[in-house]
Structure 1
Amino acid sequence: MPGYHGCVCGSIESDHRKMSDEVKLYAVRGSPFVCRVKIALDLKGIKYENIEEDLTNKSADLLKYNPVHKKVPVLVHNGKSISESVVVIEYIDDVWKGVPILPQDPYEKAVTRFWAKFIDDKCMPAIFKVYSSNGDEQAIAEACEQLQILENELAVKGTKFFGGDNINLVDITADFIAYWLGVIEEVTEIKLVTKDKFPKLTEWADNFVNCQVVKEILPPRENLLAFFRKRFGKA
């Protein structure tokens, strides 16, 4: 059962009142969306049962707990299921105290939700389009436009993370950009994020993947390289 093992981003205080809760996570190894939830759980110091799914042969429980999307991650807390990674993270932050993942101030919370939604609705589809189109120039331009918006936000904030001195919902939502994207870039040789073009984003990614709680959740890079080489037909 994964749990907190320390993080350079801040101290953790487990909510002992919740220790008797039954928490299960339906997951797939190597998924950035699952890793988002695992990071949030570890930040809060929550012990949980990790249940690996085979998406080619989905379990009856997964279909029962997420009948709409039939996807992971799904968090089951005392028999009640929550799906969609960002929604799950917000639930975790609401239920368990300790290190906050979203700000308490209503305005700051709304802004945080805005940027998380921007990453999922704008950045991620644009990045996926680059690699599904084998590096189409227009797709690259569109992805860089979205990434530049994130670069600008980091420059305006002038902080280590989108969450300030510590990671928050926005940083966690951007885990694919921080880690998985670099692996895909290496395999395909289609580079989007360079230090010259996106210095703030590059620095942020380094800080994020080296945060202790994040580092312990991320899948081994060699496993991802093997997966994406197979996916993109690279020897």
Structure 2
Amino acid sequence: LFCSVVVGISARVLNTTSPADPALLSPRQYQHTDPDSGTQLDCDKCPAGTHVSLHCSLTAVRECSRCPEGTFTRGENGLQKCHPCRSPCPGGFVEKATCKPTQDRVCTCPTNSFLSGAGGTECKPHSLCPPGTRVRRRGSETDDVVCKPCTKGTFSDSSSLKCRTHTICHAQGLLTSGTRETDNVCRPLSTSSAKPFTTTPLPGPAKAVLLQEPSSATPPSALSGPVHEGQRPSS
């Protein structure tokens, strides 16, 4: 009983198919022709990060080996050799993903720059939207910034993600109308129309009255009083 079970499993794993009927091939299998018998076999693929080191046969399943350093395979495969990784990133680029058995090396442009040039051979900084425009679409690793003019009633006087609304002049009145690049300029407030600034004194203690002292130059007669007729001042 045990032997019959093993034979049954082997028959399913190593099932042969006709070349005229490829639809029966599983996506997790690849076809291989056995060199000894000439039979076409459906072999199981090897997992990502490995490759087929020995194909399946009528009596054995396939064998897998890990990808050597500097090579990779992304998914299940029937490859006899792994793919070589890309060369180290050139100057001006940064390594986004390292080379390892399950993935290739990925080089990209630094932050705030994008891939440009013929065949994407250089990195250029993202453009700055000029005055009068705003950012419509931010830049990415592969595309530059896309700008869009400010709509009526708005402006931008420097590189900006969005446009600002023109200032509304109320009491002052409008001196100069704004544009897509400049804001409205309002008239300055008139000094004649401004109310005088007054203050009301706060109640407080009464101020002391300053009495003037008599002058030392006052004549003596004024101090001794009037002199009566016929009377002389005593000596």
TM bucket by the smaller chain? under 0.3
Q: TM-score, normalised by structure 2?
A: 0.16
Which of the two has greater helix per residue?
Answer: 1
Larger Rg: 2
Q: TM-score, normalised by structure 1?
A: 0.16
